[in-house]
């Protein structure tokens, strides 16, 4: 089933409104107001305002060029081409190239009039205001993306849980049946979420920060840590006392993937786990030495993974401790 987006709906609403208003005001070529509105409707408020400014400035510049070229040289198709040779580089210089298509409508209207009077210029100015203004007003409404971002957050955390659980299973059983689809999906979710964050930031003209931006950046860095862990996990020895402890720790990490911050608990446990391994006998063979080195690299990646969450927000554990210590 084909999905009709908000931008399509706004275009369908704004176009007849601008044509009707232009027709009501007695503007010649009133249908062109609809074209201007279609060109002005953008995916975000910020882009819409910027687009409206670019198109307005380009239209004013196009009117000045039309007066100079058509009135001084003449109304001939070749003159239109010559004028565009100068007009387009000017829009590049003014950094209003998105307005070229919009201003072309005004250029052709002025060319078709075969005579530019003050009243006709005012008529075209009114056409610009109605067309661009309607597009800008219609585009002021933007649906909230919070629900979509929350859904991406939930899906990403579920994937992280599955990845950590699969790592634990592999350490215990050397299970090689996992196809790793959660890794690909997580990467896609992070990219989609960051795109939504950028779009939502553009919908809030005065907002410089976004509540989800730092969260998904943090998860992106954690995902890099997970990717680094996988080859290290594959080099761990067959199930032994150390491997079992590491697998148990990954299971606990899997249960701890949530929006809150309890990283301090697992950092403490990781420190104890590292101390336990330090007390083990030194490796006697080259293979055992390499295995021990991979183990400590794995612990380092786990620590980085947890530190990213700890730095992201205030610890929920610390908050609970303060509440418990508060006198009655």
Confidence of residue 238 (pLDDT cuts 50, 70, 90): low
User: Which residue did the predictor score with more confidence, 98 or 207?
Assistant: 98
**pLDDT at residue 240, as a whole number:** 65
Torsional class of 178: left (φ above 0), alpha (ψ -120 to 50), beta (otherwise): beta
d(CA 304, CA 218): 11
DSSP letter (8 states) at residue 283: P
**pLDDT at residue 34, as a whole number:** 92
Check whether 201 has a pLDDT greater than 80.
Answer: yes
Q: Which of 96-100, 166-170, 232-236 bottoms out in mean pLDDT, i.e. has the lowest?
A: 232-236
Q: Would you say 54 and 96 are in contact if contact means Cβ atoms under 8 Å apart?
A: yes
d(CA 156, CA 250): 17
Query: Residue written as tokens 């996990």?
Result: 233
Distance of CA 79 to the CA centre of its chain: 44
**pLDDT at residue 221, as a whole number:** 94
Q: Per mean pLDDT, which of 76-90, 172-186, 243-257 is the most reliable?
A: 76-90
Confidence of residue 273 (pLDDT cuts 50, 70, 90): confident
Confidence of residue 236 (pLDDT cuts 50, 70, 90): confident
Q: Would you say 160 and 222 are in contact if contact means Cβ atoms under 8 Å apart?
A: yes
d(CA 214, CA 194): 10
Q: Would you say 52 and 135 are in contact if contact means Cβ atoms under 8 Å apart?
A: yes
**pLDDT at residue 46, as a whole number:** 85
Q: Which of 137-141, 186-190, 310-314 bottoms out in mean pLDDT, i.e. has the lowest?
A: 310-314
Among 154, 164, 183, 159, which residue's Cα sits nearest to residue 254?
A: 164
Confidence of residue 2 (pLDDT cuts 50, 70, 90): low
pLDDT per position as a tens digit, 283-309: 666 776 777 777 888 889 999 999 998
d(CA 194, CA 209): 13
d(CA 95, CA 92): 5
**pLDDT at residue 28, as a whole number:** 85
Q: Which of 75-89, 198-212, 267-281, 311-325 bottoms out in mean pLDDT, i.e. has the lowest?
A: 311-325
Confidence of residue 325 (pLDDT cuts 50, 70, 90): very low
Mean pLDDT of all residues belonging to the chain: 85
Q: Would you say 157 and 257 are in contact if contact means Cβ atoms under 8 Å apart?
A: yes
Q: Would you say 167 and 248 are in contact if contact means Cβ atoms under 8 Å apart?
A: no
pLDDT per position as a tens digit, 16-41: 999 999 999 999 889 989 999 998 88
**pLDDT at residue 318, as a whole number:** 52
Check whether 161 has a pLDDT greater than 80.
Answer: yes
The full set of domains in the chain, from first to last, is 6-138 (no CATH), 146-325 (1.20.120.940)
User: Which residue did the predictor score with more confidence, 177 or 307?
Assistant: 307
Check whether 176 has a pLDDT greater than 80.
Answer: no
Check whether 229 has a pLDDT greater than 80.
Answer: yes
Confidence of residue 326 (pLDDT cuts 50, 70, 90): very low
DSSP letter (8 states) at residue 207: -
Q: Which of 148-162, 215-229, 255-269 bottoms out in mean pLDDT, i.e. has the lowest?
A: 255-269
* Positive/negative CA dihedral, 290, 296, 299, 300: negative
Task: Please list, residue by residue across 175-202, b when 16 or more beta carbons sit within 10 angstroms of its beta carbon and e when fewer do.
Answer: eeeeeeebbebbeebbebbbebbebbbb
């Amino acid at each position: 089933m084909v999905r009709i987006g908000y931008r399509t709906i706004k275009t369908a609403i704004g176009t007849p409104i601008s044509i009707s208003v232009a027709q009501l005001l007695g503007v010649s070529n009133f249908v062109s107001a609809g074209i201007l509105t279609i060109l002005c409707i953008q995916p975000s408020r910020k882009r819409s305002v910027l687009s409206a400014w670019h198109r307005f400035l380009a239209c004013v510049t196009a009117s000045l060029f039309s007066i100079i070229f058509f009135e001084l040289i003449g109304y001939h198709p070749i003159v239109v081409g010559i004028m565009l040779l100068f007009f387009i580089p000017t829009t590049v210089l003014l950094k209003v190239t998105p307005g070229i298509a919009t201003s072309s409508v005004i250029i052709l209207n002025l060319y078709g009039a075969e005579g530019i009077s003050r009243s006709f210029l005012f008529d075209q100015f009114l056409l610009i205001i109605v067309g661009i203004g309607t597009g800008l007003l219609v585009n002021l409404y933007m649906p909230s993306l919070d629900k979509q971002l929350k859904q991406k957050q939930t899906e990403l955390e579920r994937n992280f849980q599955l990845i950590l659980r699969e790592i634990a299973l592999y350490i215990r059983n050397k299970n090689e049946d996992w196809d790793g689809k959660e890794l690909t999906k997580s990467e896609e979710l992070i990219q989609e979420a960051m795109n939504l964050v950028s779009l939502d930031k553009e919908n809030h003209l005065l907002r410089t920060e976004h509540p989800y931006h730092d969260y998904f950046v943090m998860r992106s860095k954690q995902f890099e840590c997970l990717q680094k862990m996988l080859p290290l996990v594959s080099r761990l020895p067959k199930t032994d006392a150390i491997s079992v402890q590491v697998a148990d720790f990954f299971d606990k990490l899997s249960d701890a993937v949530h929006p809150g911050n309890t990283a301090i608990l697992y950092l403490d446990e990781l420190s104890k786990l590292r101390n336990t391994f330090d007390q083990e006998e030194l490796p006697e063979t080259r293979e055992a030495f390499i295995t021990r080195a991979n183990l400590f690299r794995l612990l380092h990646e786990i620590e980085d993974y947890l530190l990213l969450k700890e730095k992201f927000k205030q610890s929920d554990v610390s908050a609970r401790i303060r509440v418990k210590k508060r006198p009655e």
